[in-house]
Amino acid sequence: MSVEILSRLQFAFTVAFHYLYPPLSIGLGVMLVIMEGMFLRTKDPHWEQLTRFWIKIFALIFGIGVATGIVMEFEFGTNWAAYSRYVGDIFGSALAAEGIFAFALESGFLGILIFGWNRVSSRVHFISTIMVALGSMFSAIWIVVANSWMQTPAGFTIEGEGMQARAVVTDFWAMVFNPSSIDRLTHVLLGAFLAGSFLVLSVHAWYILKGRFVEPSKKAFKAALILAGIAAVAQLFSGHSSAKLIAEHQPAKLAAFEGHYDSLAVGDLYIFGFVDQKKEEVRGIAMPGMLSFLTHEDFEKPLPGLRSFPVEERPKQVNFVFQTYHFMVLIGMGLIGLTLLAGFLWWRGRLFDYPWLMRIFAISVVLPQVANQLGWYSAEVGRQPWVVYNLLRTSDALSKAVTAEQVWFSLILFTLVYLLLLFLFLYLLNKKIKHGPAFSEKEEEVPSYSKRY
Amino acid sequence: METFLSIDLRVWWFLVVGAVFSGYAILDGFDLGAGALHLFFRREESRRIALNAIGPVWDGNEVWLVIGGGALFAGFPEVYASVFSAFYIPFMLFVVALIFRAISIEFRSKEPMAWWRLTWDIGYSAASIVITLLLGVLLGNLIQGIAIGPGFVYQGTTLDFINPYSLLTAVTTLALFTMHGAIYLAMKTEKRQHARLTVMVKNTSRFFGITFITLTMVTLIYIPQMADRFREHPILFLVPAVTMLSTINIRRLAEKRKYWQSFLFSGMVSALLLVLVSIGLFPTIVPSTIDPAYDMTVYNSASSFPSLKNMLIIAAIGVPIVATYTIFVFWTFRGKVLLDETSY
C-alpha cells in the first residue's frame, strides 16, 4: 500500500478511536454540572453520590481522551508535513488556542474535581466542575473551527506558488467564523451531549432494571432524559441547517450524501438505498424531490450532481459516504423517537413502569456513539479528494520524508495498543458500573483499593 | 517587518515557544522523574504515596506539551513539519509511551491483585523513562542539526536519531528529571520513604552533576559553534554561570532540608538548560547538517506576521490565566501526601 493510503488509514483509525472519548467527556461534563448543581441546591445526598460516582467515570474517560488526543496533534507533523507547512498559519493557531484555552482549563481543574473533595469548599468544587465542563466544550470549539476551515476556508490568502504555496491568514475572525464553523460546532456539541446523556441514561436504566440504587437512578435518569431530549430534537434542526450549508459550499459532498449524479434532475431523498458507483445510480426507496425541497424549498429545482464535477474533483467512495450519512440520520431519528416516547411516558407518570423501555435505554448507549462516528466518516470522506476544500489535495499533503515501512510500523503499533486499551477500558468501565455509586454508610468497610474506582 | 517593543514578532514568538517548553520541562520534568524512580519504592503504600504525589497535577503538567506542540505548529510550521516527519519513529514511540503512562496511572488502582499493580507500576516507570530519554534524544539532535535539504525536507534515514551525542543528552535529561522528581517526592513524603528519598536526591544530583559537566565539555569540543553567541556577547556568560550556581544550590538546599527552595532551583536549572541551548543556536532553530543554507531559522520558518500577532494576543490573554489557576491547583494540593478515599 502507498504512503498516502497508509497515512489516511492511520489517521482515520487514530482519530476515530480518539473520538469515542471526547464526546463522552463533553456530554458527561454537562451532566456533572447538572448533578452537582442539584446537590448544592437541594442538599439531597443522592445527588452528591451521583456526582462522585460520575466524576470517577469521567476521569477514566478523560484520561484516555487526552492520551489519544496528543497522537492527533503529533500526526499532523509526522504524517502530514506538507499539509502542516501549508496551513500552519491557520490550523496551528487554532490548535495552540485549543491547548491554552481548553486543555489547560480542563486538566488544571480536573485534579480538584477528583482529589479535591476534602481540600476545597463545595462551592469551589462546583466552580471547578463548571470549568472542566467549559474546558471540554472549548476544546470542541477550537478543533471544529480548525476542521471547518478545512471544509469552507475563509479569511486567508495564498502566498507563493507550487510547493512553496502557503495559506496565510488575513482576517482572524473570518477564519474562526468561517461559513460552516457555527453550524458544525452546534452539530458536534449536540452529538456530544447525546453521547454523554445516553451513557448516564444507559447506566441508570440498567440499575433500575436490576433494582439497585433505584431512587437516585430515577433522579439521574430524568435529568439525563431532559438533556438527551432537547439535544436529540435540536440535532434535527442543526443537521438540516448543516446540510443546506453543504449544498451551498460543498455541493459535491451533498451529492455524494444522496448519491445524486445527474445535474439536470431534482434531488431525491433516500430513506435507504445502495449506490452503484459503476452505473452511477442509486437503488432504494426515495422521497422524490425532497432533497431539492429541503435545500431550496422547491420540489422542482434541479441540484448539481456528481457528474457535473470532474472525476478527480469528487469523492470516490460515494456508496460509503451515502451509507454512513443515511445510518447517521436514521439513528438520529431513532433517538428523537426514543426520547420523545420516554418524555411522553414521564408526563403520564409511567416512565419507570416498563422494563422493556429500560432495556432499550440500557443498550442505546452505543447509538449516539455510532452516529457521531458515522457523521465524521461522511463529512471527511465526502470532502475527498481535498484535505483543504478546493485548495489542497490529500495526496499533496503527505510528509515527503516518511516511508511506507515507517507508517506500517506505527499503524500496527497503534492497532495493537488501541485494541488493548479499548479492552481494558471496557473491562474497567463495566467493573465500575457494576460496583456502582457508594450510597450506604458501609462505605468505610470497603477495602481501600476500590475506594476511588 | 513588524515589531513589538522594537523586537521582531518572530523573535517574540520564539520566546513564547521557548517559555512554554521550559514550563513543560519544569512541570512534567518532576512527574516524569518521579515515574522513573517509581520502582525503587518497594512497599505498596510507598508506591501509592509516590503516585498520589503527582496524581492531581501530572495531567495539567502534560498539557504544556500539547500547548508547546500547538505553539510550535502555529509559530514555526516549517520547523514543526520538518522535525516531526524527520523523527517519525521516535515520535510514534513517544506518543505510545505517553498513552501507556497515562493508562498505567489510571488503571493501577482499579484492581487489588499484586500482578495487576506490578504490571502498571512497570508500565508507568518504563514509559516515564522512555519519554524522558526520547525528549533528550530530540534535544541532542536539534543541537547537532539534522539532515534537512531543499524545501526543508528531511533527507536522512529512519535511525539517524540514535547517535553518541543524542544518547549523552538523553542520559543527562534522565539525570536532571530524576533529580527534579526526587526532590519533589522528598517534599511530599514522610518518615522512612522520605529518608530514602533524601539519599536519592543526593545520588541523582551527583549523577546530574557528572552528566552535565560531561555534556558541556563534549559540546564545547565537538560543537564549538554553540559557544559563538556567548563569545560575541560576553554578558551572556551570566546564564551558564547562574546555571552552575543553581545546580550547586540544589544540593546545598536539599542538604539543609529546604526542599521547596531546592525544588525551585532544580526547576530553574531545567529551564536554564533550554535557555542555554536556545542562546547557542539562535537565530537558528534547527541547523541543517547538509548545508547551512538549509538551516531553519526564526526568520525563514515562521508564520506570517498577522498570524503571529493574533497568536501573541492569544498567548498574552491565555498564559496569565493558565498560570494563575495552575498556581491555585498546586496550592490546593500543597503539603505532604495524605491518602484518602479519592486517592489512586
| Residue of B184, B334, B195 lying closest to B259 (CA atoms) | B184
- pLDDT above 80 (res B119): yes
Q: CA neighbours within 13 Å on the CB side: how many for A143?
A: 20
The answer to whether residues A318 and A305 touch, using CB atoms and an 8 Å cutoff, is no
Taking an 8 Å cut-off on Cβ atoms, the answer to whether B63 and A111 are in contact is no
Q: Per residue in B280-325, pLDDT tens? A: 888 899 999 888 889 999 998 888 888 888 888 888 888 888 888 8
Alpha-carbon distance A403 to nearest alpha carbon in chain B (angstroms): 9
Q: What is the pLDDT of residue B149?
A: 86
- Residues of chain A with pLDDT below 70 are 439-453
Q: Per residue in B188-209, pLDDT tens? A: 888 888 888 889 999 999 999 9
Cell readout for B1 is 517587518
Residues near B242 by beta carbon (within 8 Å), at least 6 away in sequence: B272
Round the average pLDDT of chain A to a whole number and report it.
87
Which residues on adjacent β-strands are paired with residue A276? A281
- Give dist(CA A173, CA A81) in Å, integer: 26
Task: Choose among B73, B103, B155: nearest Cβ to A95.
Answer: B73
Q: What is the pLDDT of residue A439?
A: 60
Which residues on adjacent β-strands are paired with residue A157? A168
Round the average pLDDT of chain B to a whole number and report it.
89
- Give dist(CA A452, CA A432) in Å, integer: 10
Q: Is the pTM of this model over 0.80?
A: yes
The DSSP string of A124-156 is HHHHHHHHHHHHHHHHHHHHHHHHHHHHS--SE
Suggest the residue from B28, B61, B66, B324 to mutate for an interface test with chain A (most A CBs closer than 10 A): B66
Taking an 8 Å cut-off on Cβ atoms, the answer to whether A93 and B332 are in contact is no
The answer to whether residues B62 and B98 touch, using CB atoms and an 8 Å cutoff, is yes
**Type and span of the H or E element at A386:** strand A386-388
- Give dist(CA A119, CA A124) in Å, integer: 10
Taking an 8 Å cut-off on Cβ atoms, the answer to whether A120 and B103 are in contact is no
CB pairs under 8 A between A and B: 263
Cell readout for A194 is 447525546
The answer to whether residues A149 and A49 touch, using CB atoms and an 8 Å cutoff, is no
Q: Check CB contact of A333 with chain B, cutoff 8 Å.
A: no
Nearest chain A residue to B114 by CA distance is A449
The answer to whether residues A214 and A244 touch, using CB atoms and an 8 Å cutoff, is no
Which residues on adjacent β-strands are paired with residue A269? A287
Cell readout for A44 is 439531597
Alpha-carbon distance B277 to nearest alpha carbon in chain A (angstroms): 23
Task: Read off the DSSP letter of residue B154.
Answer: B
| Residue of A359, A370, A328 lying closest to A242 (CA atoms) | A328
Task: Read off the DSSP letter of residue B237.
Answer: G
Chain B hits for A64, Cβ within 8 Å: 102-103, 106
The DSSP string of B93-150 is HHHHHHHHHHHHHHHGGG---HHHHHHHHHHHHHHHHHHHHHHHHHHHHHHH-B-B-G
Q: Per residue in A302-359, pLDDT tens? A: 888 888 888 888 888 888 999 999 999 999 999 999 999 999 999 988 888 888 999 9
Nearest chain A residue to B20 by CA distance is A100
Q: Per residue in A89-144, pLDDT tens? A: 888 888 888 888 888 788 888 888 888 888 888 888 999 999 999 999 998 998 99
> What's CA B44's distance to the chain center, in Å?
28
- Give dist(CA A45, CA A117) in Å, integer: 14
The answer to whether residues B136 and B172 touch, using CB atoms and an 8 Å cutoff, is yes
Taking an 8 Å cut-off on Cβ atoms, the answer to whether A74 and B103 are in contact is no
| Residue of B128, B133, B222 lying closest to B169 (CA atoms) | B133
Q: What is the pLDDT of residue A448?
A: 38
